[in-house]
Amino acid sequence: MSLTLDLELIGLTKRYGHTVAVDAISYHFSAGTYACLLGPSGCGKSSTLRMIAGHETVSAGSVTLGGRDISRLPPAKRGTAMMFQNYALFPHLSVADNVAFSLKMAGVDAQTRRTKAGEMLELVDMTALADRLPAQLSGGQQQRAALARALITQPDVLLLDEPLSALDPFLRIRMRAELKKLQRELGITFVHVTHGQDEALALADEIVVMNDAKIEQAGKTRAVFEAPQTAFVARFLGSHNVMQMPDGMIAVRSDALQFTQPDAARLPGTITNIEYQGTHVALTATIPGDQEVTALLPDRDFFENPKNLGEAIGLDWDAGAAHALAS
């Protein structure tokens, strides 16, 4: 693959008439990183990805790759490649011909195309299926074929638009591991759009959390997860409780909440739901202010001292477990 280059968004904006889909966002993606754009439907993450790829025009701002402004270049001239959500394989072409298609359009000779396609299929462990049609492939195999087709152009950046959403849960987890392994082997930047926080946490070195056309918070994945800055980020990433306290709003991880006696705790609560989750038990409780929080207890701890619906409890946490929120 080609030399790893930095990707940067500078005041990037997308408008559809009077609607602002992406609102002057700026972010520098570290070269060779696996980054996830994370957020709910309609937050602007797919529009951002499509502007990087050149499949949407840029209303304002710019996209640079290795310091070169690629904002107005056609997709094929950018140094990026995109893997679409539905894989977009040609149904009448074999896997090998699908993979080689962009080289054919570029006028590359047949022998070189076959050789390059073979190399890409070997990379994604699809050599034995080169002559099959897309309809003869499983969902995971179609995904690998689409990956090989995107990578044959030797991009500096691979863009992935919710690539796992069409797969069943078991295969989705397996393909997460394969995507991460592939990114490490290639050493190029991956930018992956998802609305699943589990997917982003499992894959990403960096996450960019988007909300309402803006970047809500971005940075190294663990740093963002450990210290969410806003109530939206804390709730969207999951595993955090957002609580309005007399001196401000805080986030506390669910696994950091501790049960104590009601008269010896920071907060009194009443258990409203108990859910067994295998290794953990999730207990939901109401607290003052008509707020709801969830605590995760190791299953052994819970069953050694079980709680009941409607039981009054106390909730506490170590001082370092609470993070103040801006909003």
Domain ranges of the chain: 7-226, 239-324
Count Cβ neighbours within 10 Å for each residue of 256-288 and write b for 16 or more, e otherwise: bbebeeeeebebbbebeebeeeeebbebbbebe
pTM here is 0.89
Given this model, what pLDDT does residue 1 score?
43
Same fold: 7-226 with 239-324: no
User: Are the C-beta atoms of 42 and 213 separated by less than 8 Å?
Assistant: no
Strands of the sheet containing 322-324, edge to edge, are 240-245, 248-253, 322-324
Q: How many CA atoms lie within 13 A of 246 on its CB side?
A: 3
Question: Position 276: which residue type?
Answer: Y
Low-confidence ranges of the chain (pLDDT < 50): 1-2
For the domain 7-226, what is the CATH superfamily, name and number?
Answer: P-loop containing nucleotide triphosphate hydrolases (3.40.50.300)
Report the C-alpha gap between 44 and 42 in whole angstroms. 6
Architecture of domain 239-324: Beta Barrel (2.40)
Given this model, what pLDDT does residue 319 score?
85
Given this model, what pLDDT does residue 173 score?
87
Given this model, what pLDDT does residue 3 score?
57
